[in-house]
Chain A
Amino acid sequence: MRRRTFLAGLAGSLALPAIAQEETLDPLAAKVGKGAPVKKGKVTLTLPQLADNGNSVPIRIVVDSPMTEADHVKSIHLFSERNPVSNMANFYLGPRAGKAEIDSRVRLAGSQKVTAVAALSDGTYWYDAAAIVVTLTACLDES
């Protein structure tokens, strides 16, 4: 019984920092909202959990939106925690996109958390973040 409580306590202490990390939004990503709250949800960011090489990592951003004239995604912003240029890309869409989904390949300088923020036509902002382990980082200095 004592062993069980010890293990439960250990698991709790290990899990806690991971949860805390998940909840914090990249401060640069939060600025996209220009004061408006950037809430978690609607956006799904897909990254592989592990990349052998940071030079080309497939990334997919899907936003849950009907993409009509009245309700569509205006833009999607990608942020990296550790890249020298943290704002990796901005994509501008409109009702003519039909579907709010973008696929691309990014460079990542090390294991980090990547954040995608979507700006909707109704003035709300949503985000999703994904953590990735990069074994070989994209070369920043001597290659």
Chain B
Amino acid sequence: MAARIQIPASVKRGEVVEVRVLIQHPMETGYRRDDVGHLIKRNVITSLSCRYDGVEVFRADLSSGIAANPYVQFYTVAGKSGELEFYWIDDEGTQGSERAPIRVT
């Protein structure tokens, strides 16, 4: 599962930073049927979290009500240079993670 994270290249200390996450995932609702009429099993990302230098700054419970390839945009205050780590898990138990460095000047 690939994910794209967008944060400004460089931010000032104390600045509110816009963080955008886009995860490649079908977010299968469990209500659709395949060509032969069998229900396609639900598979959605149920949890997404973001840690900034090990401290959780954002968490979300998602459901089938979130569009395929879930996109979330949120904000966090820039502390010191470090890393933003993202973790997510879907119904099949597949875990994904992605890191993005944050440069604070």
Contacts and interface: CB of A to CB of B under 8 A. Distances in A.
Instruction: Judge: A and B partners, yes or no.
Output: yes
A83 B72 CA distance: 20
Interface residues of B, number: 30
A101 B29 contact: no
Interface stretch (A11-19, A24-32, A87-95, A125-133): A87-95
A105 B66 contact: yes
Q: Is the interface of B mostly helix, strand, loop or mixed?
A: strand
A56 interface: yes
B76 A85 contact: no
A44 B68 CA distance: 24
Interface string B5-30: 00000000000110000000001010
B55 A93 contact: no
Nearest to B60: A91
B66 A84 contact: no
Interface in A27-84: 55-57, 78, 80, 83-84
Contact of B74 (A57, A102, A105): A102
B41 interface: no
Contacts of B75: 97-99, 101
B74 A89 contact: no
A93 B58 contact: yes
B60 A90 contact: yes
A106 B59 CA distance: 17
A76 to B, nearest CB: 9
Interface of A: 55-57, 78, 80, 83-85, 87-94, 96-99, 101-108, 138-143
29 contacts: A55-B68, A57-B67, A80-B65, A85-B64, A87-B65, A88-B65, A89-B62, A92-B60, A96-B57, A97-B74, A97-B75, A97-B76, A98-B75, A99-B16, A99-B75, A101-B74, A102-B72, A103-B73, A104-B67, A105-B70, A106-B66, A107-B64, A107-B66, A107-B67, A139-B31, A140-B32, A141-B32, A141-B33, A143-B33
**Which 5 A-B residue pairings sit nearest by Cβ, starting from the closest?**
A88-B65, A103-B73, A98-B16, A98-B77, A56-B67
